[in-house]
A and B are shown apart, each in its own frame.
Chain A
Amino acid sequence: MTESPPSITTIYVNDAPRRHAPLATTGVIGWIRGNLFPSVFDSLLTVASALFLIAAIVSLIQWTISGANWYSVTRNLSNLMIGSMQADPDAMNRVNIMTLLLAFGVGISLRAWSRVGLRGWIGIAIIATLMLIIPALISPIPLPPSFITSGSISVVSGSVTEIPQNTMSFIGAKGEPIRLRLASSITPTDAGLAGITAFTDRAADALIASASVRLQGQGRIEEVQRLIESSTTPAPDRATLTTELDALRSINDLSIVDIYALNGPNMTIRLLAADGETVLAEAELTQSGDEFTFTLPESGWYILERTVKAENANTLLEMNGVYPVLERGITRARLDADGQPVMDARSGQPQVVSITQHIRVTDDFLVETPQPKQNGTDVARYLFVNNQYRGERPLDDFLVLHLGPFTEKTRRLLLPCLALIALGYAAMQLLDRSYPPIPPTPKPSRRIVFWMWAIMPILIYILIASTDARSWGGLFLTFILTAVGIVVSFPIGVLLALGRRAEGLPAVKYFCIGVIELVRGVPLITVLFLASLALPLVNPSFSEVPGAVRAMVAITIFSAAYLAENVRGGLQSVPSGQTEAAKALGMNPPQVTLFITLPQALRAVIPTLVGQCISLFKDTSLVAIVGLSDLTRVADTVVAQAEYIGLRRETYLFIAAVYFVFSFVMAYVSRKIEDSGSGVARQVKL
């Protein structure tokens, strides 16, 4: 036995036990503490921004429900989505098929690149169920009534003077009931009048507006009176207040109901057919609550004549089943008796006719027959103007007027899309389960998703090649311009980037630098103008190329130059050791680029490339300037129509949401590709 040497180190025998992290530093509480309330200043910021956010969201929702008029959106959905292609059913079908194809592709990609968790499916199921049941839930809600004014007194409200329109035309469908009623039960006083939330004609709108003003004036009178009687008010102020009180009293002396004699007189009603002569029904409404009901014998125009018996009296009529009428001009192919398009003898193109459609604002019911005439002049239709709906809209009116029609229209495409996404996902899941991959090979869905996105552009091309590029518009045009811009500019941009780095080939290198810097040195607008205006000057044959195609070329070149610089950044980020290792293995320069540098470079710049795609998607809105009707341009055209004047906020908010949703999806896809791909992301992740 040898004696062990004396220890000069300290050996700890009692191990400190492993414990859980303190509760307050992990999980939700830890996150909240660490991220929202780490310090006094941060807590203040959190509270302030939370208050701001809540206020903003609450007022946005409030405005959406009770203030905003979404007609410009709900009545123009297909216009916003595909522009003038909506006139051609064949083109519309092709776009629909394209959308469904893309949805199926999205389903496949979801499975290949990520996992949709239970929460994801629940979310999708909720959206689908809502779309399915919302129209059914909403259908029992009655449409709001209309209020129209008859009589002989012009209604003055502020600077506006409206003459009651005693004859008006409207449209209705066969078998629909209409119900007219004297409104005097609702409007015994100004308060009842001011509380009306419904469709109105201009004169009724002015009546309601003046009632509101008068009620406000009454409130002020009471306030001034209180101030005058108060002992604390100084004498000079009391004098001014007395003057104000006199003025207020003289204005607000008579109630609006009395001024226009709304509750007294009775009236006769005549319902005429579209010819302006045939009397379909006649009725006399003499006292409050008297009703006139009638079932429309056929679809088309009707004329409603009202006569107030007493002179110097107006009458407010509450109507159900009669709604404001929108006007829309469309062009479509002229058809012969057999339903075949008539060809123009000279140009060989189908002949086109312009048609004025009249659409009821509450639904899609429309007539194409012209507005009825009496004594040779048009009978003014029940006009739709932006202040048509009067008052703070209650929730049920929002549901039945806006949410219902919107859901009904969007679900026609969105529900099949959701179904196809689920179908694609399920198919891939089945495939992956039935053929579990042997580790070195990727799962089958990965390979399918690659080929699918390679084939997808060809399928889409086949689908839409036969449609007229001049008719492309709306979101569809935006989508096509973006997709072509990305897909075509990608290889060009990569080649430019590689060319710029080709040290051994100065000619190629400087050509690439020249192209990149030239294109990057001018705004996209300029490139678009060059393609659409300058090129036809150089060679007139260019003017026969559709504008959309010329814009595509411009966008592609522009995007390629920026892409080249992004890819070059990626190439520079690949460490030189990678090239050296590849060279040391005997690979030649093309092999090194293809298998080693480029894959790593592209992975490294996925976020930048997606950023570029997103900005390209939004930049396509510039094509409006060279006369193409992309989403933004269609929105511009919509709000320029007389019917939708004042609905800018609603329309632009909607297209902003559309742009946002698509940009968000692109960003989401990029994250998924980054997570699933290898390279930089994988090193960090696992």
Chain B
Amino acid sequence: MKTNEMQEPIIVCNGVNKWYGDFHVLRDVTVNIAQKEVVVVIGPSGSGKSTFIRCINRLEEHQEGDIIVDGIPLGNDVRNIAAIRREIGMVFQQFNLFPHLTVLQNITLAPMQVRRQSRAEAEQKAYELLERVRIPEQANKYPGQLSGGQQQRVAIARALAMEPKIMLFDEPTSALDPEMIKEVLEVMKDLAQSGMTMICVTHEMGFAQEVADRILFFDQGRIVEEGNPETFFNLNIEHHERTKAFLGQIL
């Protein structure tokens, strides 16, 4: 494993609080994430794990606390938000591919519009990425013509096309048939091995055990426990009561 304690953390979350109306969804979330670290966030439904990673690229606003990504503080400054979003790629549970664009256009749109790349450059990169996610032959199809697993791999390629330093995965396999989960996880494993900083919200415990450097366990809006997979999934050592109950359910 490649946990690198010496390095400056690329994401710093310090006392992050967020409310939906009066409902306290994130309570004093404090966590640092190092470069090239793969962090898996697990926890029961409604524990705030998705909200947490959505705060990191400002799809949700946090009301208190600091989030600093790659040295840029996340606040109301639009330029900072734009800068941070360029650094972070995100993959969604529902894929959220653009249905009116082909796979290729899905991947090249942002590089061309945001990064001002030429079409040729963006397309070349897109073909490389499709190769990497193992669906080069689907470039000119529309998302609606692909299977769920293929769509999610396109979504990963689309995020990677912006050459992000960090990738956020928000339950990327939850909407997939069991037969397709594997192909997506394979791609994610490759990505982790290539040294990408990743934060994954997932229910795939096998993936967590195999790939994660660190596991964050969320419950009711706060981090209840964190640790490396070996210790976290070891039922023989001491755990938070909530963790024990959760692990008891899933293992």
Contact = CB atoms under 8 A, between A and B. Distances in A.
Interface string B92-109: 101011111110110001
A578 B109 CA distance: 13
A587 B115 CA distance: 10
B250 to A, nearest CB: 26
Interface size on B, as a range, is 35 or more
B96 A581 contact: yes
A4 interface: no
Residue from A585, A587, A677, A682 having most chain B Cβ neighbours under 10 A: A585
Dominant secondary structure of chain A at its interface with chain B? helix
A585 to B, nearest CB: 4
B90 A678 contact: no
Contact of B159 (A585, A599, A678, A686): A585
Contact of B142 (A595, A600, A686): A686
Contacts of A578: 96, 98
Given A440-B123, A585-B158, A680-B99, A595 B109 contact: yes
A581 B151 CA distance: 14
B145 interface: yes
B196 to A, nearest CB: 16
A220 B165 CA distance: 103
B139 interface: yes
B163 to A, nearest CB: 11
Contacts of A586: 82, 85-86, 110, 114-115, 162
Contact of A683 (B86, B104, B110, B144): B144
A580 interface: yes
Contacts of B144: 682-684, 686
A433 interface: no
A158 interface: no
A440 B102 contact: yes
Given A680-B99, A682-B142, A686-B142, A584 B89 contact: yes
Contact of A440 (B110, B115, B140): B140
Interface residues on A, range: 20 to 34
B234 interface: no
Contacts of A679: 99-100
Contacts of B86: 586
Interface string A540-584: 000000000000000000000000000000000001011011111
A580 B96 contact: yes
B236 interface: no
B49 to A, nearest CB: 17
B200 interface: no
Contacts of A684: 144
A612 to B, nearest CB: 21
Contact of B92 (A577, A591, A595): A577
Given A440-B139, A581-B92, A585-B159, A678 B59 contact: no
Interface in B17-59: 57, 59
A585 B96 contact: no
A525 interface: no
Contact of B110 (A585, A603, A677, A682): A585
Contact of B114 (A575, A577, A591, A680): A591
B185 to A, nearest CB: 21
Nearest to A580: B59
Given A440-B140, A585-B89, A682-B100, 12 more contacts: A577-B92, A577-B94, A581-B97, A583-B59, A584-B88, A585-B110, A586-B110, A587-B110, A587-B113, A588-B82, A603-B100, A683-B144
17 contacts: A440-B123, A440-B140, A578-B96, A580-B96, A581-B97, A582-B98, A584-B168, A585-B85, A585-B109, A585-B162, A586-B162, A587-B113, A678-B100, A678-B101, A683-B143, A684-B144, A686-B145
